[in-house]
Amino acid sequence: MSTAHDIETDGIFIKDCWYAAAWDYELLDGKKVARTILEKPVVIYRGESGRVVALDDRCCHRAAPLSLGRVEGDDLRCMYHGMVFDPSGKVIQIPGQDMIPPKLGVRSYPVVEKGGMAWIWMGDPEKADPADVFDYAPLQDPHWMGLPGYIHYDANYLLIVDNLSDLAHMAFVHVGTLCDSESYAFKTRPVAIERLDDGFAQERWNMDSDPPPYHQKVIPNRHGKVDRRNVARMWLPGLFVLETMFAPAGTGAEKGHLAEGTRQYRNVQYMTPETRTKTHFFWNYLHDVQEDRVNIARSLYDSMWEAFHQDKAFIEGQQQYLDREPDHKLLAIGADAALSHFRWLVGKRLAEQKNGRAAVQAVA
C-alpha cells in the first residue's frame, strides 16, 4: 500500500532498484545501523542465523527508534515497552499482553548481501529480484584487496555523480593526490563515451606522464614516466566503477601489451540518497599486488580518503549555493556529455515511475 511519503518522493528518487545500505563490517557483533535512505529511517542488523534484516526504524506503538532496541535471535525487541518484531516486521510479542492485534508491525525491506555490502530495496517488494543486485567480480576475488570506506555528504547524490562523470576535474581538484599536474585536463580527452540505457561508459588515456602522488607511494620506481588509462562506468541509480592502469611509458599498453611493472586498480563507489540534500557514499579502492598487500591497501585508502574530501568541499559548496538559489540553471560545456546523459536517464526513470503509480491508482 502506497503511503503519502512514497507518492511525494516518486519524482525525487528511483525506488525500484537496489541501493547500497551498509558494509558487512558495520554489522559485526550484533551492531545495528540506523540509516535514513530515500528519506525513510531504516534500522539494519544481522540476526543470530546470519540473516541481515532491514525494518522501518520506528516502533508502531509509540514511534520509538527500533535502532535503540536489542537483537534477539533474528528478531528485534523495542527497548521502550519491550515489543518484539520478527524479520518480516510483524509484532510477535507484547509483554503482559497475550492477544496481539494483527495490524501491529512495521515495514520490512528486502535485503541481499553481495560484495561485502548489504543491498536494500526501497520500492515495490514484489519487484525485488536478487539477481539484479550489483555484482562486481573483483570484490569477491581474493586476488584483489582493498579497504571499504564510508563518507557522508551534505549534498544531493547527483552532484557526486556529476563529479565522477568528467575525470578532467582531477587536474585541478586533485593535483597532489590523484593527479601529477594540471596538464591532465589539457592533454587528455575521453577516447569514447558510450551512452547506455542504464548509464554510461568512457575511456581516457594520459600518455608519457609523471605518476600521480598516490601511485608513487606504492611503487618502487617513483620517477619513471607512465601511460595511464582510466575506464569509467556508471550505472543507475548511482553505482560507479573506475578501472585504472599504470604501465611503463612506451611499452605498448594502448595496444594491449602489459609490460612488467604495470599496476592495476579497481575503484567502486556507491551513491545512496539519504535525503534530497544528503548522501551516503560507500567506496573501496582495490589493488592486485600480491606483495605487501595490507600496507598498499592502507596507503591507497588514505590517499582516496584525502582525495574524496577534496571533492567533498566543492560538492557541498555547490549544494549550499543551490539551497540558497534553487532556481539557478546549471550550464553545460563539452565535457558534460556523460553527466547530461545520466541526468536525462534519471529524469526518464522518474517519469516512468510516477506514471506507473498513477496508472495503478487509476485501475484501483
For 293, half-sphere exposure in the C-beta direction (CA atoms, 13 angstrom radius) is: 11
Given this model, what pLDDT does residue 190 score?
61
Given this model, what pLDDT does residue 213 score?
93
Give the DSSP per-residue string, 49-97: TS-EEEEESS-TTT---GGGSEEETTEEE-TTT--EE-TTSBEEEBTTB
Q: Which three cell numbers, joined as nine digits, stand for 241? A: 566503477
Mean pLDDT of the 345-364 span: 78
What's the CA gap between 222 and 147, in Å, rounded? 23
Q: For residue 222, what are the contacts with CB-CB under 8 A and spacing of at least 6?
A: 211, 216
What's the CA gap between 35 and 273, in Å, rounded? 11
Task: Point out the least confidently predicted range of 63-77, 145-159, 162-176, 260-274.
Answer: 162-176
Express each pLDDT in 37-57 by its tens digit: 999 999 999 999 999 999 999
Mean pLDDT of the 136-154 span: 97
Cα angle, residue 102 at apex, residues 57 and 120 outer, rounded to 5°:
35
pLDDT at 122 over 60: yes
Q: Which domains does the chain have, with CATH numbers?
A: 4-132 (2.102.10.10), 137-350 (3.90.380.10)
**Phi/psi at 353 (5° precision):** -65, -45
359 or 307, which is more confident: 307
pLDDT at 363 over 60: no
Kindly state the percentage of the chain with pLDDT values over 90: 81
pLDDT at 178 over 70: yes
Mean pLDDT of the residues in the chain: 92
Given this model, what pLDDT does residue 297 score?
97
pLDDT category at 105 given cuts 50, 70, 90 is very high
Given this model, what pLDDT does residue 34 score?
98
Mean pLDDT of the 76-97 span: 97
Given this model, what pLDDT does residue 9 score?
76
Per-residue exposure over 284-296, b if at least 16 CB sit within 10 Å of its own CB, e if not:
bbbbbbeeeeeeb
